[in-house]
Amino acid sequence: MSLLDNLPHQCRHTRPSYDNDELGASRETDITISTGLACWVQNASMAEITEFQKMDTVISHKVFFVDSPDIRPGDDIIVTSGPSFVGKRLEFKSGPTDRSAGLGLLQAAFFDEDKNPRRT
């Protein structure tokens, strides 16, 4: 069994949605785009962090996916299972880009730990 068939984490992909509450104020909530998305979450390396800092972007984690997810700025992933990072909410910053993994290909996206999560 290859790594491509057995990524160690699963996550839920969410996207912000905007509507008005009963008083007419704008309210931001999450809508779930997908659940059970196979991924592999890792801490970003210092070289990657430094490279993104040159572009005024803060990252803390990289996440590998088998297929390129339909992810865009403002989206979050929440790690739902795996050996580590469970419950961590990560905000999308950049990617996905192709990365080789043995004889296969993974998509790597970069995230920052979401310090101001939306409440649903």
Domain ranges of the chain: 3-113
- The mean pLDDT of the chain is 87
Separation of alpha carbons 89 and 74, rounded Å: 12
DSSP string, 62-92: EEEESS-----TT-EEEEEESSS-TT-EEEE
| 120 has pLDDT over 50 | no
| 47 has pLDDT over 90 | yes
Nearest CA to 17 out of 37, 2, 33 is that of 33
Separation of alpha carbons 105 and 96, rounded Å: 12
Least confident of 25-29, 61-65, 107-111: 25-29
Q: Which pLDDT value is given to residue 105?
A: 84
The type of residue at 30 is D
Three-state SS string across 24-36, please? CCEEEEEEEEEEE
Identify the band that residue 3 occupies on the pLDDT scale cut at 50, 70 and 90: low
Separation of alpha carbons 23 and 79, rounded Å: 34
Higher pLDDT, 91 or 96: 91
| 81 has pLDDT over 70 | yes
Identify the band that residue 102 occupies on the pLDDT scale cut at 50, 70 and 90: low
* CATH code for the domain defined by 3-113: 2.40.10.270
Q: Which pLDDT value is given to residue 18?
A: 86
